[in-house]
Chain A
Amino acid sequence: MNEYSGSEILLKSLLEEGVETIFGYPGGSIMPVYDALYDYQDKFHHVLVRHEQGAVHAAQGFARACGKTGVVIVTSGPGATNAITGIADAMIDSTPIVVITGQVASAALGSDAFQETDLIGITLPITKWSYQIRRAEDVAWAVARAFYIASNGRPGPVVLDFAKNAQVEKTTFNYKKCNFIRSYNPYPNIDNSLISLAVNMINNAKKPLLIFGQGVTLSGAEKELKEFLDKTDIPAAATLMGLSALPSDYKNFKGMLGMHGSIASNIKTNECDLLIAVGLRFSDRITGTVSTYAKQAKIIHIDIDAAEIGKIIPVTLGILGDAKTVLSRLTNGVKEAKHTEWLQTFEEPERVEYEKVISPEIYPTEGPINMGEVVRFVADASQGEAIVVNDVGQNQMLSARYSKFAKPRSLVTSGGLGTMGFGLPAAVGAKIAKPTRQVCLFVGDGGLQMTMQELGTIMQEKIGVKIIVLNNTWLGNVRQWQELFFNERYSQTRLQNPDFQQVAEAYGFGHQRVIERKDLGDAVEKMLADPDQPYLLEVCVVEEGMVMPMIPPGKGITEIMLNEHEWYSKS
């Protein structure tokens, strides 16, 4: 039988897993792998990033846009530690990625060798699984296991720390896909007696509300969710991570939950008699003060991760299982219903929000351009067909609130970690995963500069991402908090920015700066004209804008600010 180096076995194993794209960056301890890659250039599209953090975020964007596992290859030591932020982000946002890091030779492990870091030690708390490959014989086994673990059950990041000797040693190749791990059951059996109990609770509810998170997307349950809602007429709201699993214009869709969510979805969480939570983890950005969260309601929590059930909110009924199967069984069991009166009660908070918040944000007639207004222009022009990627801050919240989604997997955002700098590289990955779709990135002037080096990747790879820089010359989100909660003491939040037009010019992208409202429509058209070309549209937006509505930190979900001076109160 032929023998291959561990490096070549790695590549052959990746091919067995259907991998076509690798995001990476070479270095000393991974050079044998890169050397092997030289002979596999026709099999893999290797995207050379400019910083390892960018490689991981790009792999995340890829995975989030198409559902396949993203792959990263980086070197040991600084290459590996640069990847940490992305790994942590993928962990908290349940994103399937496999990160292969170089490592010094087994014999040198523990000796503080050049570019040795204890990567397993560092990544244990932020990976679904991490494993050090010390022998070429283990490569195929470890890769198979890595892909199985990363993509099954509740997905997450896996690290394979690949010792240099194992990269060069030779052995035979015999790939066996992993489909079973004794100690890990990714799809626990769903207890049908719990389904019956849930069906009863749903049939008897007068004021039910369904809230959903990324679990719906991850289990591919978009259709099942819609069928359940069609049959039961239950209103539904999404977490940030759940957005786009239901079309934005779906009749019973009530918007985003949480701190900057819709007034109605938050208020009704504390008025419903039954709260059905599907594939979410009750993050503090959703619940506000836990002690006042949905106290009046019976709660059904559906999740594939047993550790999430009851972790934050005590629930009436926890159903362990994947959203797709559970929702379809529930739909089979429940009676058709109409909730006309209950749905009518959403209208009042929706009207207030529209008048006090939405309309002034997205349809202003004077003054500087608003962030939300830019999002509205892009949403109108792309008709919900674009994949929206965003960074973190005000740009994130406003693009999440005002984008229109027509298809699943259309929002790529850093939810649980809130990683500034996520957007640009994630957009790279999303566009590679879905080359025929428009990919529109909304990014702040601060966040862009956190991973701006990836403009080089976009240039070299000719990736047609549309970069919409919402330039407010502030770390706007922090500025907002300083204004509202820290007595307007603007500590270290003002930015002096480079000329982003010249930056775009340096990379050879089409670009434009918009300052006046009248130019915005045309500029957006122009940006979207050729979906294959990168473009940087900089919009100089209102400097001291606010994201509203807002549930201030430490408050309950019914304590909602409409603006700096006014709180929502039921009329």
Chain B
Amino acid sequence: MDPLFTVTVYSENQVGLLNQISIIFTRRNLNIWSLTVSASAIEGVHKFTITCRTSQKQIEAVVKQIEKKIDVLKAFYYTNDEIIYQEVALYKVQTENLLDSNDFEELVRSSHAHIMEINRTYTVIQKTGHCEEIQDLYEKLIPYGVLQFVRSGRVAITKSTEEKVSRFLAERAEVGRNVN
């Protein structure tokens, strides 16, 4: 199987950017595995975190073509060992099934999950972690009867000590001051 890459894209907050980015994957018939879009820590800058399985050569070309889009500030790709990443998942389980169980509490504890809500009908459990851990808990909950299970896309932070986007924005601001 091809390796999993995490692509992060920083862009201006413009209509249609998601479309502009996603068509670059579509064109090469690449499947986006997960996608998270939100405001970044920098005001006015949007951040996309995309995971995709493909070859190194493809992902490199994709990232360059994303960065080429006028409203994109910077785009990067990482392998799992270069980032700290998390997903969050919610599981909805029938409460009465849990009441009869002896090891449910232990399961939640050992999975580092939290109970978000309990009522007579259902219980909502939340877990953050890596994809495999989230899947693992899901499988362990199946015997209790899972009513709903949702997982988020990935969020990621680089291990590098260099903040490339901030540096890029500072450089561009400097250029902008000089031309105007």
Report A's interface with B, CB cutoff 8 A.
Answer: 120-121, 124-125, 128-129, 132, 149, 179-185, 305-307, 310-311
Contacts and interface: CB of A to CB of B under 8 A. Distances in A.
A54 B172 CA distance: 39
A129 B64 CA distance: 16
B105 interface: no
Interface residues of B, number: 25
Given A121-B19, A179-B180, A182-B169, A149 B70 contact: yes
Given A180-B179, A181-B70, 18 more contacts: A120-B16, A121-B19, A124-B20, A132-B15, A149-B70, A180-B180, A182-B12, A182-B73, A182-B173, A182-B176, A183-B70, A184-B70, A184-B71, A185-B172, A306-B67, A306-B68, A307-B64, A307-B65
A114 B46 CA distance: 35
A120 B18 CA distance: 13
Contact of A128 (B15, B16, B70, B180): B70
Given A120-B16, A125-B27, A183 B71 contact: yes
A305 B61 CA distance: 12
Contacts of A120: 16
A351 B64 CA distance: 43
A223 to B, nearest CB: 27
B82 interface: no
Contacts of A184: 70-71
Contacts of A305: 68
Contacts of A129: 70
A124 B19 contact: yes
A11 B61 CA distance: 39
Interface in B134-180: 169, 172-173, 175-176, 179-180
Contacts of B65: 307
A446 B57 CA distance: 40
A403 to B, nearest CB: 33
Contacts of B64: 306-307, 311
A184 B180 CA distance: 15
Interface string B46-77: 00000000000000110011011011110000
Given A310-B60, A311-B61, A183 B19 contact: no
Contacts of A132: 15
A307 B59 CA distance: 12
Interface in B1-56: 11-12, 15-16, 19-20, 23, 27
A173 to B, nearest CB: 20
Nearest to A306: B64
A313 to B, nearest CB: 12
A149 B72 CA distance: 14
B163 to A, nearest CB: 17
A315 to B, nearest CB: 13
A122 B90 CA distance: 37
A129 B169 CA distance: 21
A interface SS class: mixed
Contacts of B73: 182-183
A307 B172 contact: no
Interface in B70-120: 70-73
A181 B169 CA distance: 11
A125 B28 CA distance: 12
18 contacts: A120-B16, A124-B19, A124-B20, A124-B23, A132-B15, A149-B70, A180-B179, A181-B70, A182-B172, A183-B73, A185-B172, A306-B64, A306-B67, A306-B68, A307-B61, A307-B64, A310-B60, A310-B61
Contacts of B68: 305-307
Contacts of A121: 19
A50 to B, nearest CB: 32
A306 B20 CA distance: 18
A185 B65 CA distance: 14
Contacts of B67: 306-307
Contacts of B15: 132
A128 B70 CA distance: 7
Contact of A183 (B12, B27, B179): B12
Nearest to A305: B68
A563 to B, nearest CB: 38
Nearest to A310: B60
Contacts of B72: 183
Nearest to A314: B57
Nearest to B177: A180
Given A307-B61, A307-B65, A124 B16 contact: yes
Q: Which 5 A-B pairs have the closest CB atoms?
A: A307-B64, A180-B179, A129-B70, A183-B73, A184-B70
A132 B27 CA distance: 23
Contact of B11 (A125, A180, A183, A185): A183
B82 to A, nearest CB: 20
Nearest to A129: B70
A181 B176 CA distance: 8
Contacts of B11: 183
A311 to B, nearest CB: 6
B25 to A, nearest CB: 12
Contacts of A311: 61, 64
A305 B180 CA distance: 25
A180 B176 CA distance: 6
Contacts of B19: 121, 124
A126 B108 CA distance: 51
A148 to B, nearest CB: 10
A183 B27 CA distance: 23
A180 B173 CA distance: 10
A215 to B, nearest CB: 15
A464 to B, nearest CB: 38
Nearest to B171: A185
Contact of A180 (B12, B27, B60, B175): B175
A144 to B, nearest CB: 13
A128 B61 CA distance: 17
